Structure 1
Amino acid sequence: MAALPVMLGAAPALAATQTSDAEVEILEQLTLTQVTGLDFGTIIPSATGGRINIRRNSGVCVAQGGVTLVGSDCQRGEFLVTGPSRQRYRITLASAPITLTHVSGPATMVMDRVRINGNRNKRLNAAGNHTFFVSGRLQVGANQAPGVYDGTFDVTVDFR
């Protein structure tokens, strides 16, 4: 039996090149502006604790327990978001509790609920803006020390 010689050689390489596109869209940043601050108003405490609740959808302020609202300065906080037309965004609020501290002493009160009106997922209008409101519930202690109390909390808006 005779052997047949086999020639092994390199086959020519078949290569292909394709040019591809790369793209990016740069969006205008979202801007968040506080229009009015959250204000639980002017209150008179009593020997019994109570609370002030600002309704998130209506802004109505309700005193419960041993607390009396005086005047009409109780209001939701109002925020304005601006950015690209029709952009969707999400609101994130600080988690409660949030402490309000007497401006000249150690006394405190606690805001144990922080909420926005409606869903936290929102959309800017055609002009590129949208307003939303923040409300809360403030726990007032029995015989709460008189004076002004203040505190801060974070409100964040992000693209979604």
Structure 2
Amino acid sequence: MINKPFLARVASLPVALFTVFTMQSALAAPADGDSQAEVRTPITVVKNSDLAFGNFLAGTTNSEFRINAVSGVMSKLSGDAVSIGGTISRASFTATGTPGQQANIRRSQNSINIVRVGGTETMRVNDFFLGNAGGLRDQILDAAGQATYFVGGRLRIGPNQVPGNYRGTFSVTIDYP
């Protein structure tokens, strides 16, 4: 007698499962979903001009000069070194990509040493400032798919700095979401 109730339960299980599956299919309704994707032009960056501080006569004290990224104007902040002309310019970069795309300029470092060509003497360039003509670092690419960014910074000239041509490299990155 123990086996008969067990067999009765097993026999009723397939009927119950069939009923559940039949009820689910009766409640199903079709629906469509849309799918979309946008392929954008990768942003490319071109350097238009270098950050150039010009020519100086070294003084006897630490001296500092700054090139404003927005205006491109160089100003003396401290010390007794004297600017005597030469090429003075803020750095300029143009990003090109999909019109209307956001593109944000970032610096890789905030301080570099520029080294005298043919020597080991250095001067420091730091406090890089990034922006466009309005001072913005984050921009939307225009109808032509372009945005121009400017970089300024501060040059620190040591007392009795050894004469020569000093060079160095800094990096910027254009991020785009």
Common fold: TM-score over 0.5: yes
User: Is 1:35 paired with 2:60?
Assistant: no
Distance in 1 separating the partners of 2:69 and 2:166:
21
Contact 2:51 2:91 in 1 (8 A): yes
SS of corresponding position for 2:148: strand
The one-letter amino acid of 1:132's match is Y
Please list the CA deviations of residues 72-125 of structure 1 after superposition, one character each: whole Å capped at 9, or x if unmatched: 511100111111111111111122211101111110011121111322211111
Structure 2 counterpart of 1:68, from 71, 79, 82: 82
2:85 partner amino acid: G
1:11 to 8, 12, 18: 18
The residue type equivalent to 1:151 in the other structure is G
Q: Percent identity?
A: 32
The structure whose Rg is larger is: 2
**What SS does structure 1 have at the residue aligned with 2:88?**
coil
- Of 85-94 and 14-23, more deviation after overlay is shown by 14-23
In structure 2, distance between residues paired with 1:42 and 1:119: 29
Counterpart Cα distance in 1 of 2:83 and 2:89: 12
1:84 maps onto 2:98 in alignment: yes
In structure 2, what is the Cα distance between the partners aligned to 1:147 and 1:72? 14
Shift of 1:153: 0.9
Aligned residue runs from structure 1 range 136-155, under 5 A: 136-155=153-172
1:51 is displaced (CA, Å) by 1.2
For 2:129 and 2:50, how far apart are their aligned partners in 1? 14
- Counterpart CA distance in 2 for 1:89 and 1:102 is 35
TM-score, reference length from structure 1: 0.88
Is it true that 1:132 corresponds to 2:149 in the alignment? yes
Q: CA deviation at 1:52?
A: 1.4
In structure 1, distance between residues paired with 2:69 and 2:118: 30
Q: How many residues align?
A: 157
Alignment partner, residue 159 of structure 1: 176
Q: Report the Cα distance in structure 2 between the residues aligned to 1:79 and 1:126, rounded to whole angstroms.
A: 18
Contact 1:38 1:76 in 2 (8 A): yes
Contact 2:137–2:149 under 8 Å retained in 1: no
Gapped regions of structure 1 (runs ≥ 5) = none
| Residues 1:52 and 2:59 aligned together | no
Distance of 1:86 and 1:26 partners within structure 2: 13
2-structure distance, mates of 1:100, 1:126: 38
Moved more, 60-69 or 36-45: 60-69
